Amino acid sequence: MDTENIRKPNSKFSQTLATPASVCVYLWLLLSGCAGNIKTLTTPTLSIIVPTETLSLSYPIAVTPTISCIDGLSFIDDLTIPDYSIAIPGSILDKQWLVQNSGSCNWDSRYRLRFIAGVMMGASPEQALFPARAGMQAIIRIAFTAPLEIGEYDSEWQAYDSEGFPFGESFLIKIIVQ
């Protein structure tokens, strides 16, 4: 094949090879040394595929979990009945703790206090946690009854979030009954 004919606009090459793909095939054949046996190249035909059903594609949306807030409770002080206070058997004990909502969640009516260790001393095993906004201090108050037996007693409590998960520091009352 004459390379001069390739450059001429009305040459047999420009009439038979009308697509960029066929030009590429021709050039590959020419450069690989196989072009000497080719008389004409024709553009291949493609079958058209017509869909019979419409498919709707849905792509999953990636959701990045976000933590809206973090629960926290920090013990600050015993306001009443310091640890190892002396109590009379059967006496009513009005225990109060000063705590801080050290998290970023506001405590609402779904937040609870639960007994976790020691002796309940007449208190209910679950109580409402005083509502407090994030960063604010709160007073937690539980009424206990001193045991009738002489000895040392403690009752430990923990805060639980709206989903039932414990959070923050636990706090307790420690008394000596005599």
161 has pLDDT over 50: yes
Structure tokens at 73: 């409770």
Distance (Å, whole) CA 117 – CA 99: 19
Q: Taking the domains of the chain in order of start, what are their residue ranges?
A: 3-37, 74-177
Q: What is the mean pLDDT of residues 119-125?
A: 97
* DSSP type of residue 134: T
- What is the SS3 string spanning 76-113? EEECCCCCCEEECCCCEEEEEEEEECCCCCCECCCCEE
pLDDT digit string, tens, across residues 42-53? 555 555 666 566
Q: What is the mean pLDDT of residues 141-157?
A: 98
Distance (Å, whole) CA 144 – CA 174: 11
Is beta strand 85-87 parallel, antiparallel or unpaired with respect to 166-177? parallel
Kindly report the pTM of this predicted structure.
Answer: 0.62
In terms of Cα–Cα distance, which of 52, 60, 58, 71 is closest to 135? 71
Domain 74-177 sits in which CATH superfamily? Answer: Immunoglobulins (2.60.40.10)
Q: 140 has which bridge partners? A: 97
Distance (Å, whole) CA 146 – CA 85: 11
pLDDT digit string, tens, across residues 60-111? 666 666 668 999 999 999 999 999 999 999 999 999 999 999 999 999 999 9
In terms of Cα–Cα distance, which of 77, 93, 117 is closest to 176? 93
Percent of the chain scoring above 90 in pLDDT: 61
The residue that leads in pLDDT, 151 or 15, is 151
